Amino acid sequence: MSSLDNLYRSVIMDHYQSPRNKGSLENPDLTIQLKNPTCGDRITLYMKLENGKINDARFEGEGCSISMSSASMMTQAIKGLEYNQALDLADRFSKMLLGEEVEKEDFEDLEALQGVHQFPARIKCATLAWKAMEKGIKDHDHNHEHEHHDHDQK
């Protein structure tokens, strides 16, 4: 095993054993629950949103080291991002897990998960929190579009 693999493994285990942003948020703007039926991972993602940005993100859940460390890394990475930036990051992260070359400029610890592409069954574990975030933002945007259209017709 290379020293890089060891480094990545230690980053993943650090996030698993000492998760960042674990816990609930008081009065979140979004609460999204997702499960990975394949291996039993489950996550509840809480986000506070304001003016098109993610002000805060926290998660609760249980699962394997890959799903929980990915959730920890994701909540760190998306805080302060605009919705489109967070969705772009999620897209690049998913592509990295499929083995594609992507721009990793703002990945920080996320790069530690790139080895998951060698284990296709684990990709769903690594992307669970990201799917929850994408669903939350898309549902939120969709609901706000309807609110604006309702006002226009009055």
Higher-pLDDT residue of 151 and 43 is: 43
Question: In 19-82, which ranges are continuous DSSP H helix?
Answer: 65-78
| pTM greater than the 0.75 cutoff | yes
pLDDT in tens, 79-135: 999 999 999 999 999 999 999 999 988 898 999 999 999 999 999 999 999 999 999
Nearest to 136 by CA among 46, 66, 53, 67: 46
Confidence of residue 7 (pLDDT cuts 50, 70, 90): confident
Domain 3-139 grouped into CATH 3.90.1010.10: yes
Nearest to 32 by CA among 75, 88, 96, 65: 75
What confidence score (pLDDT) does residue 146 get? 61
**First-last CA distance in the chain:** 65
What sign results for the dihedral spanned by CA atoms 52, 106, 67, 57? negative
**Domain segments of the chain: what residues?**
3-139
d(CA 66, CA 139): 26
